[in-house]
Amino acid sequence: MKTINVELKKKTVASAYNQVKMLSDMDFPNFQKGEPLYKLVMEIKRQVMKQRKQEKVVLWKELLEFWPLSIVVPSMIILILCANLFQW
């Protein structure tokens, strides 16, 4: 098993990321690149960004699937209702 799924609160992840980033900037040896805690926090951040990106793509796909119905159906209903007005 190479992966595990864990639910975390955004606030918890944000505070851990900020703390690791601050201690990394202060050159503490346990929080520099290559250390396990730093790798863990960066991997969590990458996964969160990846999931955000995937959610946005799904929204656009749904919009593109819905778009023809949002224009064609109302216009056809209006044409049917106004058919008596346009008789020649």
pLDDT tens track for 22-32? 888 888 777 77
The answer on pLDDT for 88 being more than 70 is: no
The answer on pLDDT for 83 being more than 80 is: yes
DSSP result, the chain:
---------HHHHHHHHHHHHHHHHTT-GGGSTTSHHHHHHHHHHHHHHHHHHHHHHHHHHHHHHHHHHHHHHHHHHHHHHTTTTT--
Compare 7 and 64 and report the one with higher pLDDT.
Answer: 7
Q: Is the pTM of this model over 0.75?
A: no
Compare 58 and 71 and report the one with higher pLDDT.
Answer: 71
CA nearest neighbour of 30 among 43, 15, 41: 41
Mean pLDDT of 2-13: 78
